[in-house]
Amino acid sequence: MHIARHVIDATPESVGKPAVQVAQKSLIDILGVTLAGSSEPEVRLLADVVEQWGGEGQCRTLGRQRALPAPSAALLNGAASRVFDFDDVVDSLGMHPSVAIFPPLLAVAELTEKPISGLDFLVAYAVGQDLSVRFGKARRETLLESGRYDLSKVIAATAAAGKLFGLDARALVNAMGLAYTSALGETQCMIDGASAVFYQQGLVASHAVKAVLLAAAGLSGANQFLTGRWGYYSAFEPGSNLNVIEDNLGRDFRNVDHIAFKPYPTCRPNTSAVALARSLAGQKTWHADEIDRIEIRTNQQIRDLVCLPVEGKQTPSSVVEARFSVAYNIATALLTGDLFINDFTEEAICRADVLAVSRKVQSLHDPECEDPKLGAHGRIKIDIHLRDGSSLKDSIDYPKGNPKNPMSLEEIDQKFIKCVRHTQDTKLNESAGDLLSLLHGFPSGRGTISDLMSLL
pLDDT digits (tens, 9 = 90+) for 177-230: 999 999 999 999 988 889 999 999 999 999 999 999 999 999 999 999 999 999
Q: Is residue 141 located within the same domain as residue 209?
A: yes
Burial (CB count <10 Å: 0-12, 13-18, 19+), residue 192: middle
In a domain, 193, yes or no: yes
Q: Is residue 450 located within the same domain as residue 391?
A: no
pLDDT at 450: 96
Axis-axis angle for helices 2-9, 169-181 (nearest 10): 120
pLDDT of 396 over the 90 cut: yes
Q: Judge whether 142 and 93 are in contact, CB under 8 Å.
A: yes
Of 9, 177, 37, 23, residue with least CA distance to 101: 23
Tell me the pLDDT tens digit for each residue of 128-162: 999 999 999 999 998 888 999 999 999 999 999 99
Percentage of the chain modeled with pLDDT above 90:
95
Pairing, β 291-298 against β 259-260: unpaired
DSSP 8-state code for residue 141? S
Tell me, what CATH number does 215's domain have?
1.10.4100.10
Q: Can you tell me the distance from the alpha carbon of 292 to that of 386, in angstroms, rounded to the nearest whole number?
A: 5
pLDDT of 1 over the 80 cut: no
Tell me the pLDDT tens digit for each residue of 10-34: 999 999 999 999 999 999 999 999 9
pLDDT of 329 over the 90 cut: yes
Helix (H/G/I), strand (E/B), else coil: 153? helix
Q: Can you tell me the distance from the alpha carbon of 333 to that of 277, in angstroms, rounded to the nearest whole number?
A: 7
Q: Judge whether 63 and 39 are in contact, CB under 8 Å.
A: yes
Number of other residues whose CB lies within 10 A of the CB of residue 394: 13
Q: Is residue 372 located within the same domain as residue 320?
A: yes
SS3 content of the chain, % helix, strand, coil (to 5): 60, 10, 35
Q: Please provide the distance, in angstroms rounded to a whole number, between the alpha carbons at the two ends of the chain.
A: 37
Q: Can you tell me the distance from the alpha carbon of 215 to that of 420, in angstroms, rounded to the nearest whole number?
A: 36
Q: Can you tell me the distance from the alpha carbon of 292 to that of 136, in angstroms, rounded to the nearest whole number?
A: 41
Q: Which contiguous run of DSSP H or E holds residue 201?
A: helix 196-217
Find the range with the poorest average confidence among 19-23, 327-331, 382-386, 395-399.
395-399
pLDDT at 375: 84
pLDDT at 350: 97
In a domain, 401, yes or no: no
Question: Per residue in 207-239, is it b (16+ CB within 10 Å) or e — as a string?
Answer: bbbbbbbbbbeeeebbeebbeeeebbbeebbee
Q: Is residue 17 located within the same domain as residue 64?
A: yes
Q: Is residue 325 located within the same domain as residue 426?
A: no
Residues recorded for the chain: 456
Strand partners of residue 448: 117
Tell me, what CATH number does 281's domain have?
3.30.1330.120
**Domain coverage including residue 365:** 268-396
Q: Is residue 81 located within the same domain as residue 195?
A: yes
pLDDT at 144: 83
Greater confidence (437 vs 65) lies with 437
Question: Per residue in 158-183, is it b (16+ CB within 10 Å) or e — as a string?
Answer: bbbbbbbbbbebebbbbbbbbbbebb
Q: Is residue 391 located within the same domain as residue 342?
A: yes
Q: Is residue 62 located within the same domain as residue 158?
A: yes
In a domain, 402, yes or no: no
Q: How many domains does the chain have?
A: 2
